[in-house]
């Protein structure tokens, strides 16, 4: 005699389609944004630092522009604002958000769902980039109060914010990678500071022609220089497409490499021991 | 005869990098619609087993099928059919119960409306509707445990894994969880794999129990059958010294079917204790052994545990909540 037990409950796991990859990223991004907004201390210091830099550099160095032929006809605020935006993007809150999930155990809970592992990580990275874009918008607004008048108008500002979010993706990937690799809030915070000098080994304060020796060389090989050039072209000289294209390539390099690092860190963390 | 097994485990082993063997070649099956109690003291290997069955960690060797899916080669399929509430509750304290449940539902493929309805229904079930909009960080331990159960149930899983679901809870919260486990099993036919360190919990809830100790599955069966195999009654005799208990065991070996000692206590398993008491006391008097106490009880899973491991469960455990 053959006995087969009765069918089970109304389990519907075979008929229900899981969300596609983009939907998964969106669900995780929305959730990450929600919790970031409830924990503003994770990104507010970046807002204050970026605005502080803008004010202090403009006040301290703005006067020197009158002595530099290349900046004579340029409002120094337009020259220095991109630096302020890039420094804010270094401190993407994505890494700290990842650390919070690891510490609360929610990261492990999400690993028990059928969601893609990379979508789980990308949610925080994209949310961090959106926050960085928002900070850039605030800084630009302050710039307007200080006399900023971009030659490319609203379209240029939108592009500027797009660049900020793009760079935010890269540095978000870096901090998330460190978070996944170490599980340490301190190490994740430190990772952002470790890259801080790169912002200054550029044409941060003066055009390339005024830099000499090792600083000139460092600025020439630093991708951040080309991002600064692209952003400045939007604010000062107009749509300089070659400069913008180089800036996009430099941003892509700064985004893709850390993202690969984040993915390998994720794999290292979730490899089922 | 073909049985519909929801969990099939064969020679499952977990050896960590430092050489520690947490689970050693265990094999068992859990039938569809069954509540299986996986009982063992702290560090016995219960959580490691659950972690392997829920795809959190990979077995070193052996096989495990959950709803027919191999945990090593089909982890995504296993996750879709399983609901998991782990011992450490991992919930984002900044989110509300409603948000957590809705997100969980969306991740399992519910659309926005369905996810909202399913969350609302489960919040009612676990009696968290009034706190649904509060951040989970403000919840008590019992409320968090109930929310964790709701999260595990969101996608109507075929199999529910509960890793020590009542550890650390007050008696009222424990009873709530027990009632919900029974309801899920009876009304929805859900297969439940439940680990516990509480004998009473396994005895009351499980259709069958497996007892694990030092990573090995030492005995398996229906609680009633396991206890019945010990005899219908237990005479517990406590002496001043452990050697006296052993001496008494030797003297009474011909009188009783089964006996065992644990420190100063001798346990005699009999089918008719009352009629044997007089001869037992007389035999002890003959060798001048004076018991400090003598009680008659029903056999428990603790007696079964003592028989198969040589230790009482209670001695290995922190005190059990009442």
Question: Residue B314's pLDDT is what?
Answer: 62
Distance from CA of A114 to the nearest CA of B (A): 6
Which residue of chain B is at minimal alpha-carbon distance from A100? B92
Which residue of chain B is at minimal alpha-carbon distance from A19? B109
**Could you tell me whether strands B5-15 and B21-31 are parallel, antiparallel, or unpaired per DSSP bridges?**
antiparallel
Which residue of chain B is at minimal alpha-carbon distance from A97? B92
Residue B92, phi-psi category: left (phi > 0), alpha (psi -120 to 50), beta (remainder) = beta
Contact B237, B268 (CB under 8 A): yes
Only one residue has tokens 């300089």, namely: A240
A9/B106 CB distance under 8 A: no
Looking at this predicted complex, what is its ipTM? 0.82
Fold assignment, B5-222 = Rossmann fold (3.40.50)
Paired strand residues for B30 = B7
Judge whether residue A13 has pLDDT over 60: no
Q: How far is CA B212 from the centre of its chain?
A: 10
> A124 vs A7, which has greater pLDDT?
A124
Chain B contacts in chain A segment 20-49 (CB below 8 A)? 24, 27, 31, 34-35, 38-39
Query: What is the average pLDDT score of chain A?
Result: 82
Instruction: Label residue A272 by pLDDT band (50, 70, 90).
Output: low
Judge whether residue A4 has pLDDT over 60: no
d(CA B320, CA B314): 8
Three-state secondary structure string covering chain A: CCCCCCCCCCCCCCCCCCCCHHHHHHHHHHHHHHHHHCCHHHCHHHHHHHHHHHHHHHHHHHHHHHHCHHHCCCCHHHHHHHHHHHHHHHCCCHHHHHHHHHHHCHHHHHHCCCCCHHHHHHHHHHHHHHHHHHHHHHHHHHHHHCCCCCCCHHHHHHHHHHHHHHHHHHHHHHHHHHHHHHCCHHHHHHHHHHCHHHHHCCCCCCCHHHCCHHHHHHHHHCHHHHHHHHHHHHHHHCCCHHHHHHHHHHHHHHHHHHHHHHHHHHHHHHCCC
Q: In what order do the strands lie in the sheet with B258-262?
A: B258-262, B265-270, B233-238, B293-297
Question: Residue B304's pLDDT is what?
Answer: 83
- CATH 3.30.70.980 range(s) for chain B read 231-298
Question: Residue A133's pLDDT is what?
Answer: 92
Question: Residue A68's pLDDT is what?
Answer: 61
Q: Residue-wise over B39-77: b if at least 16 C-beta within 10 A, else e?
A: bbbeebbbbbbbbbbbbbbebbebebbbbebebeebbeb
Q: What 3-state DSSP class applies to B25?
A: strand
Give chain B positions within 8 Å (CB) of A35.
92, 94-95
A272/B104 CB distance under 8 A: no
d(CA A106, CA A98): 10
Type and span of the H or E element at B184? helix B171-188
Q: Does A9 touch chain B (CB under 8 A)?
A: yes
- CATH 3.40.50.300 range(s) for chain B read 5-222
The CATH-assigned architecture of domain B231-298 is 2-Layer Sandwich (3.30)
A31/B99 CB distance under 8 A: yes
Give chain A positions within 8 Å (CB) of B4.
4-5
Question: Residue B142's pLDDT is what?
Answer: 84
Question: Residue A146's pLDDT is what?
Answer: 85
pLDDT by residue for chain B (322 residues), tens only, comes to: 445 889 999 999 999 888 899 999 999 999 999 999 998 888 889 999 999 999 988 999 999 999 999 999 999 899 999 999 987 778 999 999 999 999 999 999 999 999 999 999 999 988 899 999 999 999 988 888 889 999 999 999 999 999 988 887 788 888 888 888 998 899 889 999 999 888 888 888 999 999 998 999 999 999 888 888 877 788 889 999 989 999 898 888 877 778 888 888 998 888 777 788 888 888 888 888 888 999 888 888 888 888 787 777 665 665 444 4
């Amino acid at each position: 005699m053959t006995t087969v037990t009765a069918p089970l409950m109304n389990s519907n796991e075979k008929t229900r389609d899981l969300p596609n990859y983009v939907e998964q990223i969106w669900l995780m991004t929305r959730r990450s944004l929600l919790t970031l907004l409830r924990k503003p201390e994770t990104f507010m210091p970046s807002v204050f630092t970026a605005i502080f830099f803008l004010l202090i550099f403009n006040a301290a160095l703005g006067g020197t522009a009158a002595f530099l032929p290349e900046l004579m006809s340029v409002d120094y605020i337009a020259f220095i604002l991109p630096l302020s935006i890039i420094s804010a993007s270094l401190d993407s809150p994505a890494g700290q958000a990842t650390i919070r999930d690891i510490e609360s155990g929610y990261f492990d809970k999400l690993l028990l769902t059928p969601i893609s592992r990379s979508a789980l990580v990308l949610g925080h990275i994209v949310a961090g980039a959106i926050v960085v874009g928002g900070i850039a918008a605030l800084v630009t607004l302050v710039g307007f109060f200080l006399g900023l008048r971009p030659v490319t108008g609203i379209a240029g500002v939108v592009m500027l914010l797009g660049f900020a979010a793009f760079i935010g993706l890269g540095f978000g990937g870096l901090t998330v990678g460190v978070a996944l690799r170490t599980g340490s809030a301190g190490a994740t915070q430190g990772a952002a500071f470790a890259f801080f000098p790169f912002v200054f080994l550029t044409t941060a304060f003066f055009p390339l022609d005024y830099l000499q020796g090792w600083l000139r060389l460092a600025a020439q090989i630093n991708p951040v220089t080309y991002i600064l050039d692209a952003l400045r072209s939007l604010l000062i000289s107009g749509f300089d497409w070659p400069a913008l294209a180089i800036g996009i390539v430099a941003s892509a390099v700064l985004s893709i490499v850390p993202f690969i690092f984040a993915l390998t860190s994720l794999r290292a963390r979730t490899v089922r021991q | 005869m073909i049985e519909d097994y929801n969990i099939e485990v064969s020679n499952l082993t977990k050896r960590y990098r430092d050489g520690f063997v947490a689970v050693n070649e265990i094999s068992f099956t859990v039938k569809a619609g069954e509540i299986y109690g996986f009982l063992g003291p702290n560090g016995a290997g219960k959580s490691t087993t659950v972690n392997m069955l829920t795809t959190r960690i990979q077995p070193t060797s052996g096989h495990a099928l959950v709803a027919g899916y191999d945990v090593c080669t089909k982890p995504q399929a296993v996750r879709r059919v399983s609901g998991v509430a782990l011992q450490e509750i991992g919930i984002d304290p900044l989110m509300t119960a409603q948000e957590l449940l809705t997100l969980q539902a969306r991740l399992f493929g519910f659309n926005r409306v369905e996810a909202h309805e399913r969350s609302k229904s489960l919040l009612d079930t676990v009696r968290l509707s009034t706190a649904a909009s509060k951040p989970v960080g403000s919840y008590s331990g019992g409320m968090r445990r109930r929310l964790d159960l709701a999260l595990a149930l969101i996608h109507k899983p075929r199999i529910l894994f509960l890793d020590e679901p009542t550890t650390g809870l007050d008696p009222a919260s424990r009873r709530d969880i027990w009632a919900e486990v029974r309801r899920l099993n009876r009304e929805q036919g859900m297969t439940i794999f439940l680990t516990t360190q509480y004998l009473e919990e396994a005895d009351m809830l499980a259709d069958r129990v497996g007892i694990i100790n030092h990573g090995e599955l030492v005995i398996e069966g229906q609680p009633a059958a396991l206890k019945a195999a010990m005899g219908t009654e237990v005479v517990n005799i406590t002496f001043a010294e452990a050697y006296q208990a052993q001496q008494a065991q030797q003297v009474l070996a011909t009188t009783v079917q089964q006996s065992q000692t644990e420190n100063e206590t001798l346990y005699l398993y009999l089918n008719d204790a009352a009629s044997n008491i007089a001869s037992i006391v007389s035999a002890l008097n003959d060798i001048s052994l004076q018991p400090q106490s003598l009680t008659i009880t029903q056999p428990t899973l603790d007696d079964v545990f003592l028989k198969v491991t040589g230790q009482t469960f209670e001695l290995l455990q922190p005190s059990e909540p009442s």
